[in-house]
Structure 1
Amino acid sequence: MTEPIRAIYFNGTLTPSPGESHTDLLIEASAGILRQQGVEVEVVRAVDHALAPGVQPDMREHGASEDAWPELWQRVLAADIIVLATPIWLGDASSVTRRVIERLYSESGELNDQGQSIFYGKVAGCLVGGNEDGMKHVAREVLYALQHIGCTIPPQADAGWVGEAGPGPSYGDELDDGSRAGADNDFTKRNITIMAWNLLHLARMLRGGIPTEGNDRNAWKRGERFGFQNPEYR
């Protein structure tokens, strides 16, 4: 029997549970589509976990008194899809989201059985919310980091809602007419839907992994150069 596709969403809200999180509402709009297709979805509110700062897999080995990352990393390993969801503060992703990125980066030296980055075969995307400008800027930084460590980014892998520039309602806030801010925004609904389906399509396609030709770091270490030619002046 084929294993189900698994997705893990990291909510980068600054609000600990059980406090309300507008980012959670964006996550559920996306995750609901995946669940309908049989995807096993886990949502992690990162601020609820003692994530030590640093870029080592276990910061307890580098002076931290506690570090929840090693346990969370096992859940990332089990996932086919990784989504970072963040609010915008001062035009950037939240500090919590940055810490998750740093801890993901701490694992980038790990290789799979084929000598590739441990993130090969995982697809990634991001969700961005808030009530100030910067959605595309944040998505660019988040998606760059995720592809740099080895994740595969499908087309149109970001979505979000920021409303009007300046202080105002966040996604899901109740408005004076009883409606919810952003809930009926066609642009947001369309992008969330496209993103969710593209994540799923690519995760299914990559179930067999990525070919190793040209990206096997163990082979490179042994001297294989996969066609690379040094300039003649060397």
Structure 2
Amino acid sequence: MAYFVFPAPAPTTLPVTNSTAVFPVGRVYCIGRNYRWSQDEATPQEMPTWFMKPANAVVQAQGVLPYPPGTGDFCHEIELVVAIGRGGQNIAPAQVETHHIWGYAAGLDLTRRDLQLQAKRAGGPWEAAKAFDHSAPCTPLVSATVCGHPKQGAVWLTVNGVERQRADLADLLWPVPELVAMLSRSVTLAPGDLIYTGTPVGVGPLQGGDVVQGGVADIGQFSMTVGNASYGSSTPFTGDSA
């Protein structure tokens, strides 16, 4: 009879708003940008860049946000999060909302920007920059049966009370149905998958002691305090990234 060589870790879960139920997190897909960062930016014609984070990078967006090791440029990216309740491959955009989305949340795609820029220059993978511990804070999920499928509403983030990011869900370059459908042509989506749908202009560095607050429409809001940096200090990010 087979047995685990050590106790299996507990699954990663997220609370559900106004419910005792929890949502089991599967895979975490993150979409690069997906908002215009300049007025003259062309409308995209191809699937945007996407990458993954491990399920246990997802944590509740509350309390202390640990400053990760190995970086001096720890950056925030506020995003709408889509929770998949029914999987599929080659999903038609018209079927996404009615058959596949379980709900929504507000989340942060946190980035070790200096490591990302190093990876870009070397043509290497982004895992070191994106897939670290606590890199995907998320608010409690709201069922689509409660909130519907939001097409507009503010996406915003402040640091120490100063606004850094603001956009509207209507500004998404690839709206959620098209985004989920495109992703399903590349991978077979499964129940429990989360999709971080991209961030507006204004990404920037966080330092120890910063209070970072944000939210998405009526879906969710959060407030977190950044822990002390392991070493180094943040420097402003001014380049092009995701």
TM-score bracket relative to the smaller structure: under 0.3
TM-score by length of structure 2 reads 0.24
TM-score of the pair, normalised by structure 1: 0.25
* Higher-strand-fraction structure: 2
Indicate the structure with greater helix content: 1
Instruction: Choose 1 or 2 for highest CA Rg.
Output: 1
